Amino acid sequence: MSELKGVSMIRILPGLTVPALAGVLSFVLIGHLWNRYSEETQALGFNGVFERFLAAQAGFADDVNAYRASASREDFVQKASALEE
C-alpha cells in the first residue's frame, strides 16, 4: 500500500510543479514587459500609459506634441459648442 502512495506522489508532483512554474514565469515576464513599456512611455514624453493609449487611438502613437495639440483643440471645440448652447 505504501508503494502505491509513493508512486502516486511521483505522478502528482510534476503535475503540480509544471503549472506553478509556468505561472511564476508568466508573472515575471508580464512584470518585465510592463516596466519596459512604462519606461518607453515616459521617455517619449507621455504622462502615463493611458495617455499613450489614447494617443494611439487618435493616431499619434509616438508624437506627444501632436497628440496634445489635437486633444487641446478637441477640448476647445467641446467647450465652445457648450457655450453656444
Low-confidence ranges of the chain (pLDDT < 50): 76-77, 79-80, 83-84
Burial class (CB in 10 A: 0-12, 13-18, 19+), 46: buried
Q: What is the pLDDT of residue 29?
A: 97
pLDDT value for 43? 79
Q: Which three cell numbers stand for residue 3?
A: 508503494
Can you give the pLDDT at residue 74? 61
Tell me the one-letter amino acid at 73: R
Cβ-contact 64, 55 below 8 angstroms = yes
Is the CB of residue 60 less than 8 Å from the CB of residue 67? yes
